[in-house]
Structure 1
Amino acid sequence: MIRANTLVPYKSWAKPLVSEVATIIYLLKDNGYDAAQLAKVTGLQQKNINVWTARYKNEPDNLSSIPYPCWCFLCALVGKPNIQSNGDVIDVNVKKVLYYFKPTAFRSNDKFICPSQEQFSNLIDNDNYESLTTEKLSTVFNWNASNFAHGVENGSLPFLNWSLILMTLGIDIQKMILKDLEGDVSID
């Protein structure tokens, strides 16, 4: 069982327990994604996943050290996207957004090629999309704004950050990333 106060925007967020993070990891494992495969397609490091679920069997009620963006990402992978906005998405023309980027921007981490600064400029910090600024996105996901801006400017944005941006636009990152699921995966 995952507590409702872990599935909320950052300003109201309660860190999940190690048992809650483990619930998501085990759900993904039960559906065909062991730790190595999960690390490959998401870019999350196995050692971090182990740390976030450390001592699950002995101390399941300890708070996990998982960062908020990673928690949002894992929740989206198990059918609970956009906890950072209470399930709301940013209203954009998704077809137009897809046109801005090469198909390699919409693949799992192991096949992902980060968009260029020019491609990002069509979407982020653009007058057409008021909600998609480096400052606003950094606040929503509790990112370091200067690191995020640097990634956008240099076309070196981490896969996780890119995936969360896509998710905020209503793109199903579960289907984008987890192509080999053995069944429907949902924590609801």
Structure 2
Amino acid sequence: MVREATLTPYSRWAKPLVSEVAEVINLLKDSGYDSNQLVSVTGIQQKNINAWTARYKNEPDNVSTIPYPCWCFLCALAGKPNIQSNGEVVEVNVRRVLSYFKPTAFRPNDKFVCPTSDQFSDLIDNDNYEALTTEKLSEVFNWNANNFKRGIDNGSLPFLNWSLIVMSMGIDIQKMILKELKGPVSLDECD
């Protein structure tokens, strides 16, 4: 069971136990994604997953080393999006936002093409969306603001970061990334 304290905004976040991270990973595996497929569609390396779930069978109560953004991402893939904002989404005109980007920006990691800095400029750090600034997003997801800004400016934002931005606007990243699910996936069903 995943504790509620792990499903909160960063300011109140309790790091998950290795057993909780393993539960999320196993839920995704039970839903049709083996380790290689998870690496391919999420971009999260197997060595990181191994580190975050280290010794969960022998020492399930150890605190995981998983970073907050990665935990938000995995929880969203397991049917629990937007833990960083208690389930609230940034109010945007989704059709308009989708028109800023090529369809390849909304694909799994193995088919993803990062948006350009010009495309990002329609969404982030402009007057269109008050909540979508490098500073605010960095604070919400505990990102290094300088690295995040550099990724936007260079059109080299990591897939995981882009996915979290997309999720924060109410776009279902589970459907965007996990196109071959055997059925609905939800952490709520595990509790």
TM-score strictly above 0.5: yes
Report the count of equivalent residues: 188
Shift of 1:34: 1.0
Determine whether 1:186 maps to 2:186.
yes
Provide the rounded CA distance (Å) in 2 between the counterparts of 1:67 and 1:35. Answer: 19
1:8 paired residue number: 8
User: Equivalents in 1 of 2:168, 2:107: separation in Å?
Assistant: 17
Identify the residue that residue 141 of structure 2 maps to in structure 1: 141
After TM superposition, the structure 1 = structure 2 runs for residues 12-91 of structure 1, keeping only pairs within 5 Å, are 12-91=12-91
> Partners of 2:39 and 2:141 in 1: how far apart?
21
CA offsets, 1:130-186, max 9 Å, x none?
A: 000000000000000000000000000000000000000000000000000011100
User: What one-letter code is carried by the residue in structure 2 that aligns with 1:89?
Assistant: V
* Identity within the alignment, %: 76
Q: Report the residue type matching 1:183 in the other structure.
A: G
The alignment status of 1:97 with 2:97, answered yes or no, reads yes
Amino acid aligned to 1:13:
W
Provide structure 1 residue ranges, at least 5 long, that are not aligned to the other structure: none
Give, in whole Å, the separation in 2 of the partners of 1:34 and 1:98: 30
Equivalent-residue separation in structure 2 for 1:168 and 1:30 (angstroms): 26
SS in 1 for 2:187: coil
Measured in 2, the distance between the counterparts of 1:7 and 1:38 equals: 21
- Counterpart CA distance in 2 for 1:27 and 1:68 is 19
Secondary structure of the residue aligned to 1:129 is coil
Inter-partner Cα distance in structure 2 for 1:22 and 1:85:
23
Deviations along 1:8-36, one digit per CA (max 9) or x if unpaired, are 00000000000000000000000111111
1:70-93 CA deviation, whole Å, 9 max, x = no partner?
A: 000000001100000000000000
- Name segments (4+ residues, structure 1) moved above 6 Å: none
Cα distance in 1 between the residues matched to 2:90 and 2:156: 23
Question: 1:92 & 1:183 partners in 2: Cα distance?
Answer: 28
Q: Which runs of 5+ in 2 are unaligned?
A: none
Question: What TM-score does the superposition give when structure 1 sets the normalisation length?
Answer: 1.00
Length-normalised TM-score, structure 2: 0.98
The amino acid of 1:54's aligned partner reads A
CA-atom RMSD, angstroms? Answer: 0.4
- Tell me the distance in 2 between the aligned counterparts of 1:31 and 1:140: 29
